[in-house]
Amino acid sequence: MRSGSTAILATRRTAFWAATFAPALCLLLAALSGCTRSDGALRWSEEVTLPDGRVVTLHREQWFDGGYAEDGTAMQGRMTLRLVHPDTASPIVWDSPYALATQALFVDHGAVYLLVAPGVGTTHEAAGCPYPLTMLFRHTGQGWVQMPLEAIPVREIEANMVLDPKASIVSIKGAKYRLDASATKGAAGWTARFYPIADPSKVGHQVFRCPEKRRPLVR
């Protein structure tokens, strides 16, 4: 009788410790090392060197298997970026239901800008079939607003982010899910080196060839 009670007590204790500490341990391990989550998301951090030499850290998540958002909206390779504004220390979040190629992040007169480009198919159509492909977004302090590409406030910009996470999974894992500035500055060793962004201000007027298909690209 005593041995049976002891076994029941041990089982209850095991269940209690598992329920209490296992979730916290998983979150801790994920925060320390990054991971490919059970929901299909790849999580990692990367250091980005701004044109003025400052370095900011991005915390990124990328889904590759579609799926659905919490509100039931279909996701086309959802991508999130999180960073702290280097001037104001306020949090900034980019949350897109589309897997856009991330080309460059920069700050001009206190405003944070992001250059992205769509791929093909659904993502290209959701972006409105832009030409040139590169799109400019500015963070207003309240959210992201798409700007005309010809309104870019800098004369030159160097690719400074992981362009295509799916193509870079092996390298991201090899860096233990933490990429330092040497891995992203100039996109050295990354697919982005094949997409030079020398002087976007020379592109002229950007047009959208299927504007009727445009969808919101960022929440």
Residues pairing with 68 in the sheet = 74
Rounded to 5 degrees, φ, ψ at 150 are -70, -10
d(CA 70, CA 81): 18
pLDDT band for 29, please (50, 70, 90 cuts): very low
CA distances from 87 to 55, 71, 103, 108 (A): 12, 33, 21, 11
* Sequence spans of domains, the chain: 1-33, 38-213
Rounded to 5 degrees, φ, ψ at 7 are -65, -40
pLDDT at 21 > cutoff 70? no
What pLDDT is recorded for position 19?
A: 41
3-state secondary structure of 112: strand
pLDDT at 146 > cutoff 90? yes
Please provide the average confidence, as pLDDT, over all residues in the chain. 79
3-state secondary structure of 180: coil
Q: Which residues contact 20 (CB under 8 A, 6 or more apart)?
A: none
pLDDT at 51 > cutoff 60? yes
d(CA 106, CA 138): 10
Q: Encode pLDDT of 93-119 as tens digits.
A: 999 999 899 999 999 999 999 999 998
Q: Of the ranges 50-59, 60-69, 157-166, which is most confident?
A: 50-59
pLDDT at 49 > cutoff 60? yes
Exposed, middle or buried, 163 (CB in 10 Å: 0-12/13-18/19+)?
A: buried
Q: Encode pLDDT of 152-171 as tens digits.
A: 888 878 889 998 888 888 88
Confirm if 181 and 47 have CB atoms less than 8 A apart: yes
Q: Encode pLDDT of 170-191 as tens digits.
A: 889 999 999 999 888 765 433 3
d(CA 157, CA 163): 14
Q: What dihedral angle (degrees, nearest 10) is formed by the CA atoms of 19, 22, 23, 25?
A: 150
Rounded to 5 degrees, φ, ψ at 63 are -100, 145
